[in-house]
């Protein structure tokens, strides 16, 4: 689908403005103001204040029909940027390292395209600008729904798009069923009994205990999980000890458990508690456990994943739809999909050689992907509304 060069250039400019001025989850006040300014310029009515800084824009089509919602997340991450971009973050310690700046600018551009095609719209298109996507396990989607974002306009289908550096520009990751995983996290405080490094027999070494816990946790995947069901247990922080000749009194561990199915999630959670409690008890240590159930798996509705597949196929052909595997990364869009049918998909955005992954301080987004993101999302909105009418 042809999208004007003006719309694409403006989207890139707005993306760079957002990239220079990133804001952390729940603190997206200036980002929200900038989005409202864009909607005001376009004459799109909106409601705001959902989950604090969230916005709902409303585009009424020329013809009656059903309702489709398009989601863009707006928050950034607590990362010092090292991308080298000329428009790098001006806020120390904060960076759009997950592409939410691109999501937001592409949704504004999509709105412009839809306004130009208002005669083709049978129903209502909702523009959902979501805060706090990175704030797992709380997130912003549930708060938006609790705040009544869909009280006046109930979506029949929701669509979410995410930039994906593992795919070339012009490629899309589309699948039915789970596309993103359950993302739970844990915190452990292991308490031993410290003492002099030369007298370990008089102590309970919290570092040794913690090492055993880390090793034992890996058996959840290697010896308890079905090899055909994806699961990951990662300890991301291991901190303890004060001096080279002092046996540590306490050690803190933080990590995450990622699974695809709810069955595997429950098994991993149960084994996590059993392993941690029994290993520490066997070594005469104590442990405090905090386990946070994070975002659920993002599960696409087959009907709407197939509809999106057909939209991409019609626009760009089969070569734009490579076979892809699901990811165990977490995504707050999952909570929207627990309430409403819909589809979440990946937009190829690789810069090529030297591409860094999402959440990396040197992450870069290929702006050539903007055209593809805007064309597919706008066409998907129209196609989805047409399919809803056909099914009545």
Question: In 3D, which of 172, 151, 150, 169 has the Cα closest to residue 160?
Answer: 172
Domain ranges within the chain, ordered by starting residue: 5-181+296-390, 182-295
| CB-CB contact of 23 with 90 (8 Å) | no
- Which of 295, 344, 345, 372 is catalytic? The answer is 295
Q: For 125-150, write each residue's pLDDT tens digit.
A: 999 999 999 999 999 999 999 999 99
The β-bridge relationship of strands 298-300 and 177-180 is antiparallel
The β-bridge relationship of strands 177-180 and 122-130 is unpaired
The β-bridge relationship of strands 63-73 and 54-60 is unpaired
Rounded to 5 degrees, φ, ψ at 257 are -120, 125
The reported pLDDT for the residue numbered 1 is 74
| CB-CB contact of 199 with 230 (8 Å) | no
120 is catalytic: no
- Which of 133, 134, 249, 367 is catalytic? The answer is 367
138 is catalytic: no
Helix (H) or strand (E) holding 300: strand 298-300
Question: For residue 158, is pLDDT > 90?
Answer: yes
| CB-CB contact of 333 with 298 (8 Å) | yes
C-alpha span between 346 and 349 (Å, rounded)? 9
Q: For 337-363, write each residue's pLDDT tens digit.
A: 999 999 999 999 999 999 999 999 999
Reported confidence tier of residue 2, pLDDT bands at 50, 70, 90: confident
Length of the chain: 392
The reported pLDDT for the residue numbered 392 is 76
Which CATH homologous superfamily contains domain 5-181+296-390? Zn peptidases (3.40.630.10)
Residue 238, strand partner residues? 253
DSSP type of residue 220: I
Domain 182-295 sits in CATH at 3.30.70.360
C-alpha span between 165 and 356 (Å, rounded)? 8
């Amino acid at each position: 689908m042809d999208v004007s060069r003006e719309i694409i250039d403006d989207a890139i400019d707005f993306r760079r403005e957002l990239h220079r001025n990133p804001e952390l989850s729940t603190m997206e006040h200036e980002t929200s103001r900038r989005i409202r300014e864009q909607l005001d310029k376009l004459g799109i009515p909106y409601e705001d204040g959902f989950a604090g800084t969230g916005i709902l824009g409303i585009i009424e089509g020329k013809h009656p029909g059903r309702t489709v919602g398009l989601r863009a997340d707006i928050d950034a991450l607590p990362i010092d940027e090292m991308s080298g971009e000329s428009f790098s973050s001006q806020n120390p310690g904060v960076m759009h390292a997950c592409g939410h700046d691109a999501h937001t600018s592409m949704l504004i551009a999509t709105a412009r395209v839809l306004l130009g095609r208002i005669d083709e719209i049978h129903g209502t298109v909702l523009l959902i600008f979501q805060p706090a996507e990175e704030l797992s396990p709380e997130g912003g989607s549930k708060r938006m729904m609790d705040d009544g974002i869909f009280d006046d306009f109930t979506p029949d289908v929701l669509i979410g798009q995410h930039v994906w550096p593992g795919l070339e520009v012009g490629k899309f990751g589309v699948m039915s069923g789970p596309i993103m995983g359950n993302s739970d996290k844990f915190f452990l405080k292991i308490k031993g009994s410290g003492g002099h490094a030369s007298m370990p027999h008089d102590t309970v070494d919290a570092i040794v205990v913690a090492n055993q816990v880390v090793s034992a946790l890996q058996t959840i995947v290697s010896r308890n999980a079905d090899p055909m069901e994806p699961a990951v247990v990662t300890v991301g922080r291991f901190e303890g000890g004060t001096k080279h000749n002092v046996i540590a009194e306490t050690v803190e561990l933080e990590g995450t458990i990622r699974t695809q199915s709810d069955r595997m999630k429950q098994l991993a959670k149960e084994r996590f508690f059993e392993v941690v409690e029994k290993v520490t008890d066997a070594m005469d240590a104590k442990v405090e456990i905090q386990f946070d159930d994070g975002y659920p798996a993002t599960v696409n509705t087959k009907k709407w994943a197939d509809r999106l597949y057909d939209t991409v196929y019609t626009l760009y052909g089969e070569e734009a739809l490579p076979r892809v595997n699901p990811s165990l990364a977490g995504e707050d869009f999952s909570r929207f999909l627990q309430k409403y049918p819909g589809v979440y998909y990946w937009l190829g955005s690789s810069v090529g050689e030297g591409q860094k992954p999402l959440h990396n301080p040197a992450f870069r987004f290929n702006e050539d992907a903007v055209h593809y993101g805007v064309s597919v999302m706008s066409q998907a909105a129209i196609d989805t509304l047409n399919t809803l009418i056909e099914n009545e």
